[in-house]
Amino acid sequence: MDIGILINEGPYTHQASDSAYLFARAAIEKGHKVSRVFFYHDGVNNSTRLTEPPQDDRHIVNRWAKLGQEHSIDLVVCVAAALRRGIKDENLAPGFRISGLGQLIETGIQSERLVTFGD
């Protein structure tokens, strides 16, 4: 099954990103394909290279970047939501890219399922 994921919440203020990450890993382990993860609203904060959690905490941005690289997942950050939060191309962690809402619509059309995490 081809799965698209939408994340609407930031990495350390809400469980949505952790849940989405664990869901994506489990889906891949079961043989499904996660074609795209779209970060929207505060979810765009999952993409910034400026995140520096304490050493004993999980690094959610790096988790997404590594998962995207290992499984050829398109990690798309909403341009409007990113700019509202001061995130530009030069602030993105490796593997993420900025694009528009058309990518979210395309994901909904092309994926067999679009799973949303966060409000």
The residues that are catalytic are 78
Backbone phi, psi, residue 72, to 5°: 50, 50
- Using CB atoms within 10 Å of the CB of residue 89, give its burial: 0 to 12 exposed, 13 to 18 middle, 19+ buried: exposed
